[in-house]
Structure 1
């Protein structure tokens, strides 16, 4: 027997599911203990570095080196934990798959008797399903993969971190500034020099203030604020509201030398001929690398507001208004402008007096940072006989608490409503090479502070609200600048007790489509116009299907995936490098153009058959657009697939173009509501939307709306291919859905959107009720 064992070997002991689970659990316990140990060592080294500070720089740097090594070990430890967790999930899935597989074998035997023959169309459907599963598998593989390998520690980074640790207390004192009722007298002449040059924190640098400027400020009620950070103490002069020959507009009286790099382009411009306000160029906040502490943008932003706080607060607002409702928009463009205009029109139709104050839709980031300062000088004072404005409605673009601090009269408004078109915690970032963007969380802080100051917080969708509150506790609890110091104590309590109780969902108020206009009919009532539009849809019959894209031409709308499917349906063959290039940004303002080498039109057939579908590609475009748009246009024009391309100037022409389309498609990676989709469905388009973001809450659950949702690109291609092959059947469904949406048919027929999404479904009445209008 022993010889047989030596000859054939001893069978290996099989490892069971329970044995593997126990081994994984033991390994995880060991790694968790190591994680606790490393975190403890990191905290110890941080404490030592703070104690040594600048007194013993060599010892402090050594502590930070050790901390960096511990952090790398902790990163590797975390990676190992993630791998073990992935293996545990894979093990459980394998056991479940085995049980499922046994069942599927039995079912498969029965199905083989049913599906004996397969034609070409069924083979194509099977391949679509295979591609779909492959995409899902790729997504899972990408999710569980993690990069490994430590990077070398940079000596300069260690020095910067050491100085940041020693300056935390100074930064906190700088931000702890309280207002004063009376400004101190302005110093004139040379300030005294420092007593000791050895201590860097005691060295101060004052800019000189001329006697003429000092007398002018004293005479006209001007003032200044004192700011100190590290070794800099400076005077920030606040300009009063009148002109001065000695002090011309366009120059600051005095400036701390450390602010010169970002205030050099600051100018003062008059508003309403009386109220000067500071305006900065888009480059003002690009700091030199040597001033690394200014890159802490939250501190810099607070310093900026401190410097110019009294300017807007002391500005004399000359205009007045007798309106009872104040609508404020910090970025008056796109959907923001559309909502404000629709609300204003609805209120004025009810006889309400409305005051609208807005800022131009340029430089969104500057509107968020400085919008409150500009609006404080623009908003008129209320002389309403009923005690001033009763409602303030604004979007979450700028800082509402800053506006209320700059204009105390606005803080007394009984109802202050804040509307979230989007939230900055879940807004997707650009990832294409040099155009990639990094998270800038100061904008999320602006929205959090505005939400705390508002009486009612409104979100355009449940997805918008839930995604914001899901990420907010972790965002507020994150360490700054180093763990374990939280940004905000008890962030979960802040969200649950202060924010959520005063939050609700109020869908975007899409204006009703002017249906008598696009059908060129003299219909006397809206119902007759709806019926006429339904007949126009049916009359298209077997004509080529018209596919609509009416979104912004930007990276977050994911146009590359849309054109991938369109090229496949149009039988235009290009390689993947074509679409990779299409993800980059085209900047015509810098002379960037599409090179002939970027496109190979030789792949197009010399003789083109009649196109089975056509495209209407609309939407607003900025100066810089994804390169895929001009690249795709060249190919699609050659093949005769383009019906309309580009921005439509007038609102009437936009509605007419929508009314001529059959299907509206979205491939967006970011959508907090979907105004463009609702507009298209409102005039009879069939939606085809991804099963993500805010789209599922717009559509009716179950059939027929389940046919309008896709999860992968093969599914999207499959649905469009089916509709292109039988456009008459789709148009019959679209006509019935349009009639049902506007209550022109008996209940029970199919529709796409949920009740309450369109304005006539009680949504307009909800808005009027919000403003106290019957």
Structure 2
């Protein structure tokens, strides 16, 4: 009996050791249906920093069509492989459809990452089809093994809105969805690789440019850089503001080189958000790291990340702060940021992502 027990223990130890080695050698399948902005930034970072990631992506165009149809595209175009052990996807993907179309992928450890959620995402006008996007995200959460949000605001705004959202269903409503999904949920802040230094709906550009044009009309001296990707629809306010601001503009448009982008941030004194929606805010944190004084709405995710002195409640408050800064630029140039940056860095978050993206192989795979 002793010899038999010894053999069993030896075999068990060998199998566990072999499983660990196999797990480390297996691939992480990353699927991104909207490969642009922060979605692209995260995919590129994980692929660079973690071993054996296999990404499949679609360009960041026509967001609504990606949400509707990407699952079928990936079902047809991701090759079958026994090496996959983990599926990591953003919530743009309809994970439920993909798992049904590809049972081999449905068996993997499925991780859903929320950059934003459709239950509280603002829409310009109510449309019947809008319900489907939020509903798809709820279904994807039910299918996922782990659901990760980039902020507490993102997670809580999604979970606490499920009940109200499902009341749009006229009858025979599903029940207890929040209590089913919540145990799967956790927050891991978006990991930023900060520079080595010594977008879908635009974030309310009307308010932003209106305030700048007002400062210009007051005769105040300032310069502005407007950076960012241009997608299909560009609001008219951009061309109007570019003409109105004229000589006050230092930079205008997308800078494809990240080093050039950070160089512009390092030249700036203040970074402003007039967002009507924000679930994390990568660009704001990057700018603060480069020395900018942040001004953000006292709403959305911002109170979770920035101290109170950097928050404003009304456009009038923002305008007054900017008028003061224009008259006294030394206030912001000598200012030392009082918040924390380290918790949002890849250096602080990499261990959480490594832990998230590892798993023991299942016996049935």
TM bucket normalised to smaller: 0.7 to 0.9
C-alpha distance in structure 2 between counterparts of 1:406 and 1:438, whole Å: 26
Aligned to 2:134: 444
Check the 8 A contact 2:86/2:358 in 1, yes or no: no
Of 460, 471, 477 in structure 1, the residue corresponding to residue 161 of structure 2 is: 471
Check the 8 A contact 2:26/2:85 in 1, yes or no: no
C-alpha distance in structure 1 between counterparts of 2:341 and 2:255, whole Å: 28
Q: CA RMSD in A?
A: 2.0
- Map 1:273-284 to 2 at 5 A: none
Aligned to 1:487: 173
- Partner SS state of residue 625, structure 1: coil
- Map 1:258-277 to 2 at 5 A: none
- Partner SS state of residue 367, structure 1: helix
Of 275, 280, 293 in structure 2, the residue corresponding to residue 686 of structure 1 is: 293
Does structure 1 residue 651 correspond to structure 2 residue 271? Answer: no
Aligned to 1:189: none
Does structure 1 residue 400 correspond to structure 2 residue 106? Answer: no
Check the 8 A contact 2:160/2:178 in 1, yes or no: no
C-alpha distance in structure 1 between counterparts of 2:128 and 2:208, whole Å: 25
Q: How far 1:556 moved relative to its partner? A: 4.4
For the structure 1 residues 325 and 623, does the alpha-carbon distance in structure 2 shift closer, same or farther, using more than 3 Å as the test? closer
Q: How far 1:733 moved relative to its partner? A: 1.5
Check the 8 A contact 2:28/2:87 in 1, yes or no: yes
Does structure 1 residue 345 correspond to structure 2 residue 48? Answer: yes
C-alpha distance in structure 2 between counterparts of 1:681 and 1:753, whole Å: 10
Q: Deviations over 1:453-473 (max 9, x none)?
A: 100001111111111112211
Of 314, 328, 343 in structure 2, the residue corresponding to residue 726 of structure 1 is: 328
Runs of 4+ in 1 over 6 A off after TM superposition: none
Q: Deviations over 1:227-286 (max 9, x none)?
A: xxxxxxxxxxxxxxxxxxxxxxxxxxxxxxxxxxxxxxxxxxxxxxxxxxxxxxxxxxxx
Aligned to 2:12: none
Check the 8 A contact 2:61/2:231 in 1, yes or no: no
TM-score normalised by the chain length of structure 1: 0.42
Aligned to 1:564: 210
Of 703, 712, 716 in structure 1, the residue corresponding to residue 314 of structure 2 is: 712
Q: Deviations over 1:45-92 (max 9, x none)?
A: xxxxxxxxxxxxxxxxxxxxxxxxxxxxxxxxxxxxxxxxxxxxxxxx
Q: How far 1:679 moved relative to its partner? A: 1.3
C-alpha distance in structure 1 between counterparts of 2:225 and 2:279, whole Å: 23
For the structure 1 residues 507 and 717, does the alpha-carbon distance in structure 2 shift closer, same or farther, using more than 3 Å as the test? same
- Partner SS state of residue 557, structure 1: coil
Q: Deviations over 1:101-146 (max 9, x none)?
A: xxxxxxxxxxxxxxxxxxxxxxxxxxxxxxxxxxxxxxxxxxxxxx
Of 271, 278, 283 in structure 2, the residue corresponding to residue 676 of structure 1 is: 283
Check the 8 A contact 1:464/1:672 in 2, yes or no: yes
Aligned to 2:146: 456
Does structure 1 residue 324 correspond to structure 2 residue 18? Answer: no
Does structure 1 residue 756 correspond to structure 2 residue 343? Answer: yes
Check the 8 A contact 1:698/1:757 in 2, yes or no: no
Does structure 1 residue 512 correspond to structure 2 residue 194? Answer: yes
Does structure 1 residue 428 correspond to structure 2 residue 108? Answer: no
C-alpha distance in structure 2 between counterparts of 1:709 and 1:636, whole Å: 25
C-alpha distance in structure 1 between counterparts of 2:273 and 2:127, whole Å: 23
Does structure 1 residue 626 correspond to structure 2 residue 235? Answer: yes
Aligned to 1:88: none
Q: Pick 1 or 2: higher relative contact order, CA cutoff 8 A, min separation 6.
A: 2
- Map 1:151-550 to 2 at 5 A: 323-347=26-50, 352-384=51-83, 389-413=84-108, 415-431=109-125, 440-480=130-170, 485-488=171-174, 490=175, 493-496=176-179, 498-515=180-197, 533=198
C-alpha distance in structure 1 between counterparts of 2:128 and 2:266, whole Å: 39
Aligned to 2:7: none
- Partner SS state of residue 344, structure 2: coil
- Partner SS state of residue 294, structure 2: strand
TM-score normalised by the chain length of structure 2: 0.86
C-alpha distance in structure 1 between counterparts of 2:323 and 2:297, whole Å: 16
- Partner SS state of residue 54, structure 2: strand
